[in-house]
């Protein structure tokens, strides 16, 4: 059966004249849907898969099972043990990467046109037939445990973990997906098999490809790769409402520079005001020296090397967060400046000039993201997970342009909540009072 | 693969310096009358360019006692010029939808912008302006010095592994400035001032000490016209002298160090040896060392992984690393992160034994063939990323290599034999040239409540 095709041709209307990005919507003979940008000039393909749910699908008491399972996908499958699989991958010069997050398991692959079929067969075995051999399980488990021990003494990791625990409590988002020393030590081979069956299912996979492959070839490739996965898997977790109170949570840790994470509730990715919030945040703490936080904290006062704020639209919760690090005797001042800027933007919004600059930056920078097969495939798969349509690449900049000063003012007032802005600080901060969060 | 691997890959960056034969067709190079070297890499798939200027001046070119000035100046270059206000450079790049940044290393300082191809002339105009017209205020110095100290806090002081590597490097070089950290020693950073910055700027920032690299949707002819317009009028620095760094004396004694820090969760052993780098027209030994690092530590089928992680299970992680792109003598390194219950001396002994066995057993022919095939494949994958290609040329040219050397490198790698690898290994693994470091928690456990 011929793959069903719907091609959307787009001339991205950006500030500079931009090339056509042709996104094809491919339906494979077995019914998988994928997006493709065919670009034949370099003889390889980048393929991106996402399995929605990721580590948040860990069974009760089995924290870390998905992470360990994913770490073992390339450690032996089908007829090959771990070394056999690695040798075969190297012999094809294929690149397979397996990653895990709160909301998805991500598989990124690049393979040459000249040996594509062999590479796909090998990748399929790792996705469909992982062996979970006992020696491999123990070897990778030891590596995961080492990582957990390191995280426990790394201020950057501690601060994120403490913030998550504070805002998400006993939701899966509230604990590290690597698990704890105890939970990982207790995982059995059966737990890994269950995690594999529950997470890597057909009903939750998203697929994108870019490079030297036709739609028909991609359809056949996907069927080979994924048809033997289970039809369905574990139920997605529940949503959780984020509630915070203003103040500082100090986590004592003997290190010269304090690391702070701050935030409160944000906006869903599909909220009608998300774009306005995105534009507002770019002016508040987005990348670059233009943003107010960077300007006030770094450029004017030299209090940090970098400070950023960002919207975090997860599948089951949404936050507006930020991150900064300052020496122990300066972090108190940094926090004061951040709180002031939060209040200021909540009351006054942004200036006309700021809005104009943010818009030119965002619209001009967008097409520059499509640089190479790997980045294009990653953008395409992310759009699908965000439930966007292929024509988003055309309409996106118009959405940015449509944001008005009044929109930003209104959203800033609603979204920025100085009375809920919670800081978690890891270090030996001077002059900071720990204020209980409830 | 679990995260540990990624963490170490990030820290030690033992990536293969691949090259791309097919890419050579797309690379042109020429010289402006004032001595500025130009490299153009064409990639017409998308109408974007990356514009880079690399100076043959890095932290190892700093005057003694002013460590960190190369990197400090890199920060200050984003302040004002006689024609532009502080921060205006970045504002203009952003207003054109572009991204810009800069980087400093031992042998170079580089600046880049990534923009739509039709903005290339504007980027050149601004980069040329700040090559000669930098104008700093005393406030710039005071504030930005705080920023670089916070950068040091973030990158080094807050990370015992980074402190350990800094000490290790200082021990590796007895006399050469590669022993001084790029970001600077903290006590010297605190004293850096306007005079230090301007002296470094006046000495090194000139077209005859710079390399322009443009990669993307542009032709060599277009770049030539624009470069002549914007960089052509800048005067060469007549006082520019060849880069002279203090040479290493013969190293006669192995250095051994133990770095203890309560923040260390996972102890490990790192051994580095002084090693030769790629030299113009003479890259064969560096090629052999590059393949040696791959054979020993490049992934799941490498010798150290097989012996120490799979067979004896004495390690949770091992690595071998070597980067030959360097102006002066570089390092070849080995790492072992021991399994639980194995102490550092036992881990070191296991590492030494594995290497000794390898020298005895030789190179597995199938493994060598896989590595070489992967290197050939990299020539295909590399074409997907013009930025990375541009950086490869920038690093090589600021390390004293030529465009011809860069283009010859893939074939030189393919020509390396088992004998070459073993000979290079026997030569480099000389303990008199080595630093062996233990990173560990305090020897006396802290009292817990």
Within a domain: A242:
no
User: Do A281 and A173 reside in the same domain of the chain?
Assistant: no
User: Do A262 and A405 reside in the same domain of the chain?
Assistant: yes
Probe site for chain B from A18, A282, A372 (most B CB atoms < 10 A)? A372
Tell which A residues from 257 to 316 touch B, by Cβ distance under 8 Å: 257, 259, 288-290, 298-306
B332: CB partners within 8 A, 6+ apart: B272, B273, B275, B289, B292, B293, B320, B321, B322, B428
Within a domain: A106:
yes
* CATH code, domain with A80: 3.30.830.10
Give whole-number Cα distances, B151 to A327, A355, B158, B181, in Å: 10, 30, 10, 13
Within a domain: A438:
no
Can you give the pLDDT at residue A20? Answer: 66
User: Do A116 and A260 reside in the same domain of the chain?
Assistant: no
Range(s) of the domain holding residue A125: 2-226
User: Do A161 and A282 reside in the same domain of the chain?
Assistant: no
In this complex, which of A19, A143, A365 lies closest to B2 when CB atoms are compared?
A: A143
Give whole-number Cα distances, A115 to A44, A80, A121, B391, in Å: 9, 18, 10, 29
User: Do A317 and A216 reside in the same domain of the chain?
Assistant: no
**Which own/partner contact pairs does B20-27 have at CB distance under 8 Å and 24+ positions apart?**
B20/B378, B20/B379, B20/B380, B20/B382, B20/B383, B20/B389, B20/B410, B21/B379, B21/B407, B21/B410, B21/B411, B22/B379, B22/B380, B22/B383, B23/B379, B23/B382, B23/B383, B23/B389, B24/B407, B27/B393, B27/B403, B27/B407
In this complex, which of A71, A289, A326 lies closest to B87 when CB atoms are compared?
A: A289
CA angle A192, A195, A200 (to 5 degrees): 125
* The total number of structural domains that make up chain A: 2
Within a domain: A434:
no
Can you give the pLDDT at residue A438? Answer: 61
Distance from CA of A298 to the nearest CA of B (A): 7
For chain B, say whether A18 makes contact (Cβ under 8 Å). Answer: yes
Within a domain: A234:
no
Final residue belonging to a domain, choices A194, A226, A258 = A226
| Interchain contact, A360 vs B94, CB within 8 Å | yes
| Interchain contact, B147 vs A370, CB within 8 Å | no
- pTM for this prediction: 0.93
Can you give the pLDDT at residue A367? Answer: 87
Can you give the pLDDT at residue B23? Answer: 55
User: Do A286 and A412 reside in the same domain of the chain?
Assistant: yes
User: Is B74 a known active-site residue?
Assistant: yes
In this complex, which of B45, B116, B263 lies closest to A41 when CB atoms are compared?
A: B45
Probe site for chain A from B138, B154, B161, B314 (most A CB atoms < 10 A)? B154
User: How much is the ipTM here?
Assistant: 0.91
| Closest residue in chain B to residue A358, using alpha carbons only | B95
Distance from CA of A288 to the nearest CA of B (A): 8
**pLDDT > 80? residue A414:** yes
Tell which A residues from 233 to 252 touch B, by Cβ distance under 8 Å: none
Q: What is the mean pLDDT of residues A144-163?
A: 97
Can you give the pLDDT at residue A305? Answer: 96
User: Do A164 and A297 reside in the same domain of the chain?
Assistant: no
> What are the structure tokens assigned to B239, written together?
């006082």
Final residue belonging to a domain, choices A162, A191, A226 = A226
User: Do A169 and A285 reside in the same domain of the chain?
Assistant: no
| Closest residue in chain B to residue A71, using alpha carbons only | B1
Within a domain: A373:
yes
User: Do A215 and A252 reside in the same domain of the chain?
Assistant: no
> What are the structure tokens assigned to B38, written together?
């130009």
Within a domain: A233:
no
Distance from CA of A37 to the nearest CA of B (A): 13
Within a domain: A360:
yes
User: Do A212 and A260 reside in the same domain of the chain?
Assistant: no
Q: Which of B37, B42, B62, B74 is catalytic?
A: B74
| Interchain contact, A71 vs B2, CB within 8 Å | yes
Can you give the pLDDT at residue B24? Answer: 64
Helix (H), strand (E) at residue B350: helix B344-361
Write the pLDDT tens digit of every residue in A46-90: 999 999 999 999 999 999 999 999 999 999 999 999 999 999 999
Question: What are the chain A neighbours of B3 within 8 Å (beta carbons)?
Answer: 144, 147, 178
User: Do A200 and A256 reside in the same domain of the chain?
Assistant: no
Can you give the pLDDT at residue B449? Answer: 42
Helix (H), strand (E) at residue A51: strand A44-52
User: From first to last of its 449 residues, what are the pLDDT tens digits of chain B?
Assistant: 343 333 333 333 333 333 334 556 689 999 999 999 999 999 988 889 999 999 999 999 999 999 999 999 999 999 999 999 998 999 999 988 898 999 999 999 999 999 999 999 999 999 999 999 999 999 999 999 999 999 999 999 999 999 999 999 999 999 999 999 999 999 999 999 999 999 999 999 999 999 999 999 999 999 999 999 999 999 999 999 999 899 999 999 999 999 999 999 999 999 999 999 999 999 999 999 999 999 999 989 999 999 999 999 999 999 999 999 999 999 999 999 999 999 999 999 999 999 999 999 999 999 999 999 999 999 899 989 989 999 999 999 999 999 999 999 999 999 999 999 999 999 999 999 999 999 999 986 555 44
Final residue belonging to a domain, choices A197, A226, A255 = A226
User: Do A335 and A380 reside in the same domain of the chain?
Assistant: yes
């Amino acid at each position: 059966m011929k793959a069903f095709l719907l091609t959307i041709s787009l001339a991205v209307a950006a500030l500079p004249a931009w090339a056509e990005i042709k996104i094809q919507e491919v339906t494979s003979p077995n019914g998988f849907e994928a997006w493709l940008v065919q670009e034949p000039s370099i003889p390889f393909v980048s393929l991106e898969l996402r399995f929605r749910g990721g580590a948040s699908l860990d069974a009760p008491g089995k924290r870390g099972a998905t992470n360990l399972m994913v770490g073992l996908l390339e450690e032996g499958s089908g007829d090959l043990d771990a070394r056999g699989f690695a040798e075969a991958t190297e012999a094809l010069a294929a690149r397979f990467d397996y990653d895990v997050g709160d909301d998805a398991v991500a598989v990124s692959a690049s393979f040459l046109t000249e040996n594509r079929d062999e590479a796909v067969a090998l990748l399929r075995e790792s996705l469909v037939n992982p062996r979970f051999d006992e020696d491999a399980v123990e070897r990778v488990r030891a590596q995961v445990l080492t990582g957990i021990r390191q995280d426990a003494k790394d201020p950057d990791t501690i601060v994120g973990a403490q913030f998550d625990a504070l805002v998400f409590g006993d939701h899966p988002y509230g604990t590290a997906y690597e698990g704890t020393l105890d939970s990982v030590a207790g995982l059995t081979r059966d737990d890994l098999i269950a995690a594999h069956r529950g997470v890597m299912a057909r009903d939750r996979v998203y697929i994108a490809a870019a490079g030297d492959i036709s739609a028909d070839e991609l359809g056949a490739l996907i069927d080979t790769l994924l048809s033997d996965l289970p039809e369905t898997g574990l139920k997605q977790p529940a949503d959780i409402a984020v509630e915070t109170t203003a103040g500082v949570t100090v986590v004592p840790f003997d290190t010269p520079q304090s690391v702070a994470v701050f935030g409160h509730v944000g906006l869903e990715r599909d909220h009608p005001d998300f774009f306005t919030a995105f534009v507002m945040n770019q002016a508040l703490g987005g990348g670059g020296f233009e943003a107010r936080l960077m300007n006030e904290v770094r450029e004017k006062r030299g209090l940090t090397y970098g400070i950023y704020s960002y919207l975090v639209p997860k599948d089951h919760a949404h936050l507006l967060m930020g991150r900064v690090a300052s020496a122990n005797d300066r972090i108190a001042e940094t926090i004061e400046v951040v709180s002031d800027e939060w209040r200021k933007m909540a009351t006054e919004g942004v200036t006309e000039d700021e809005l104009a600059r943010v818009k030119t930056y965002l619209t001009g920078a967008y097409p520059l993201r499509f640089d190479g097969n790997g980045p294009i495939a990653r953008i395409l798969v992310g759009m699908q997970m965000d439930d966007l349509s292929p024509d988003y690449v055309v309409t996106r900049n118009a959405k940015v342009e449509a944001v008005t000063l009044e929109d930003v003012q209104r959203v800033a007032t609603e979204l920025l909540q100085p009375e809920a802005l919670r800081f978690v600080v890891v270090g030996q901060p001077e002059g900071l009072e720990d204020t209980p969060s409830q | 693969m679990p995260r540990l691997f990624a963490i170490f890959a990030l820290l030690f960056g033992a990536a293969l310096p691949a090259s791309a034969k097919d890419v050579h067709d797309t690379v042109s190079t020429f010289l402006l009358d004032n001595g500025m070297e130009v490299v153009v890499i064409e990639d017409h798939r998308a109408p974007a360019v990356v514009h880079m200027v690399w100076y043959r001046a890095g932290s190892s070119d700093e005057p003694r006692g002013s460590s960190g000035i190369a990197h400090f100046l890199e920060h200050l270059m984003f302040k004002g010029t006689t024609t532009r206000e502080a921060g205006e450079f970045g504002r203009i790049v952003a207003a054109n939808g572009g991204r810009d940044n800069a980087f400093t290393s031992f042998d170079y300082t580089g600046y880049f912008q990534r923009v739509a191809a039709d903005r290339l002339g504007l980027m050149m105009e601004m980069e040329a302006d700040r090559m000669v017209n930098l104008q700093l205020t005393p406030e710039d110095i005071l504030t930005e010095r705080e920023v670089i100290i916070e950068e040091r806090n973030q990158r080094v002081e807050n990370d015992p592994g980074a402190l350990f590597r800094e000490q290790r490097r200082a021990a590796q070089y007895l006399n050469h400035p590669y022993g001084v950290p790029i970001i600077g020693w903290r006590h010297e950073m605190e004293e850096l001032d306007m005079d230090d910055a301007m002296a470094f700027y006046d000495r090194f920032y000139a077209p005859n000490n710079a390399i322009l690299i443009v990669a993307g949707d542009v032709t060599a002819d277009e770049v030539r016209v624009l470069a002549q317009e914007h960089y052509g009028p800048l005067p060469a620095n007549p006082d520019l002298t060849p880069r002279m760094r203090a040479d290493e004396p013969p190293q006669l004694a192995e250095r051994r160090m133990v770095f203890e820090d309560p923040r260390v969760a996972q102890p490990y052993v790192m051994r580095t040896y002084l090693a030769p780098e790629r030299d113009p027209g003479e890259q064969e030994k560096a090629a052999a060392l590059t393949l040696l690092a791959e054979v020993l530590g490049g992934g799941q089928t490498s010798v150290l992984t097989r012996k120490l992680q799979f067979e004896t299970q004495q390690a949770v992680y091992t690595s071998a690393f070597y980067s030959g792109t360097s102006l002066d003598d570089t390092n070849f390194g080995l790492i072992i992160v021991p399994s639980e219950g194995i102490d550092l001396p036992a881990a070191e002994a296991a590492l030494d034994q594995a290497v000794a066995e390898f020298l005895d057993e030789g190179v597995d022919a199938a493994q060598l063939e896989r590595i070489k095939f992967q290197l050939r494949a990299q020539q295909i994958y590399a074409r997907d990323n013009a930025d990375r290609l541009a950086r490869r040329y920038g690093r090589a040219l600021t390390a004293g290599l030529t465009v011809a050397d860069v283009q010859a490198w893939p074939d030189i790698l393919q020509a390396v034999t088992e004998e070459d690898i073993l000979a290079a290994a026997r030569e480099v693994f000389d303990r008199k040239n080595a630093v062996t470091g233990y990173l560990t928690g305090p020897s006396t456990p802290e009292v817990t409540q």
